[in-house]
Amino acid sequence: MSGKLIIENLEKVYKGEVETIAVRDFNLSLNSGESATLAGPSGSGKSTILLCIAGLLEPTFGKIISNGKLVNAFTEEELVDYRRQTVGIVFQSYNLIEYFTVFENIAFPLWIAQKSKKEIKERVELLLDELDISRYAQTYPRFLSGGEQQRVAIGIALANNPQIILADEPTGNLDRETADIVINLLFKEAQEHKKILLLATHDEKIIEKSKQVISLEKRII
């Protein structure tokens, strides 16, 4: 799968009682199979950048171009498709559906995308295997450890085979060893399946492992 993500002069200003310039003149270009890590102190705009790329937040200025298409110019309908099919997001909190089994959690985006029962079964079983959680297929999330729950969350993000994976502090709630397992899995999935991976983290060990690190500065205003 080939793809390209270009971010040009991205700026995001939160307007409230005080104006916060969360992101100023951010630029990045990633091809499929490439990854980058956003590093920087709390408040430096990491999550804001990821949310803009995910189509969940509207940039104040600048362009987000996915496969030659300007995401900012998408209609609401196109945005829904883009969020469902082109991007997969992993957050620090796992956001699993507690009354669904592990299998059903990963199947959920595929049901929404109206895939056939056979396609869903094949895709979910492949992901469960790659993420090494097949034994928990019929288990409910509350019985899993944090690292296992995060692997399910990665499965959900990957379910629709998105070109872009966005991960916001994906190991923020995990201990060192579990964090390493989860991050290695994310890198492996991205590389093997030629995804674009953009991570945000404070974790020095993850920053060390990253091929391309983008350091953001703390904003003054």
Ligand X SMILES: Nc1ncnc2c1ncn2[C@@H]1O[C@H](COP(=O)(O)OP(=O)(O)OP(=O)(O)O)[C@@H](O)[C@H]1O
Instruction: Provide the binding-site residues for ligand X, judged by CB under 6 A.
Output: 14, 16, 20, 22, 40, 42-48, 219
Give the residue carrying structure tokens 């060192």.
176
Which helix H or strand E contains 25, and what residues bound it?
A: strand 19-31
Q: Which amino acid is located at 134 in the chain?
A: S
Place of tokens 């298409």: 69
**Residue whose CB is less far from Mg ion, 152 or 216:** 216
Least distance (Å) between residue 206 CB and ligand X: 13
Instruction: List, in sequence order, every residue forming a beta bridge with 29; answer none if it has no partner.
Output: 6
CB of 195 to Mg ion, least distance (A): 21
Our finding on whether 210 is near Mg ion (CB under 5 A) is no
Of the pair 40, 155, the CB lying nearest Mg ion is at 40
- Written as one letter, the residue type at 34 is E
Q: Tokens 């990665």 belong to which residue?
A: 154
What, of ligand X, Mg ion, none, does residue 84 touch, CB below 5 to 8 Å by kind?
none
Which residues between 47 and 106 bind Mg ion (CB under 5 A)? Answer: 47
Cβ count near 38 (within 10 Å): 25
CB of 196 to ligand X, least distance (A): 19
Part in contact with Mg ion (CB under 5 A); list of ranges 43-51, 107-115, 149-157, 188-196? 43-51
Phi and psi angles of residue 190, each rounded to the nearest 5 degrees, phi first = -65, -45
**Residue ranges that bind Mg ion, judged by CB under 5 A:** 46-47
